[in-house]
Each structure stands twice: as C-alpha cells, then as structure tokens.
Homo-oligomer: A and B are copies of this chain.
Amino acid sequence: MNEPQPLFRALADPTRRDILLMLRGTDMTIAQVAENFDMTRAAVKKHLTVLSDGGLITVRAQGRERYNTLNPNAFAPIRDWLSFFDTFWDARLDDLKSAIEKDAQ
C-alpha cells in the first residue's frame, strides 16, 4: 500500500528537515552531518535512521564510513497525497463560479 506514515513522521522534525536540506548538494557521513548540529552523533544517527525509514535517504557503505544520500524519489508519496485535495479545490472553484453566475442573473 506504500504507507506514507513513515515519510510524514520523518518530515515532522525540524532537525531532520535541516539534514535533508544539507544533503541536497553532497552526500555526507554521519560525522559530517553531526558537525552541523549541537547534539551528539548518536542523536544524529537516530534522525538518519528515521529519514531512512521514511525513504528519504539511502546509505552507502564505503570502508568504515557510511555516506547518506538524498533519495531522488523522496517526496513523491507526499505529492501524491496532496493531490487528493486537488479535485476538491476545483470543485470549490466551480461552486464559486456558479454562485457568481447566479448572482449576476
């Protein structure tokens, strides 16, 4: 069913959203990500795990280092979910249009 819950959950924390922005340009190891925050490496690692569970990043091992990479298809499920509301907005606009037309008569 491709549950979007882990994705929405992952995006709910500001630190995790900052990590994602940070990973736009370059892949980073856990230590590199942790340098940018005022918290322990262990805490950052937890955030990275949540991001991975949400399908937002993938991890590539290279020797003793783990490079975290932003997933190109990361936000597709969110966009899909948001699209459930598109027809609604259209209907609202139609209602408005009808009301205006009726008003003009």
Contacts of A75 in B (CB 8 A): 82, 85
- Which A residues are closer than 8 A to B by beta carbons? 5, 8-9, 11-12, 14, 17, 20-21, 24-25, 70, 72, 74-75, 78-79, 81-82, 84-85, 88-89, 91-92
| A5-B14, A8-B11, A14-B5 known; A21+B70 contact, CB < 8 A | no
> Which residue of chain B has the shortest Cβ distance to A20 in the bound complex?
B85
Besides A8-B8, A11-B11, A17-B81, 12 more A-B contacts (Cβ < 8 Å) are A5-B14, A9-B12, A12-B12, A21-B84, A24-B85, A25-B91, A70-B88, A72-B89, A74-B85, A75-B82, A78-B78, A79-B82
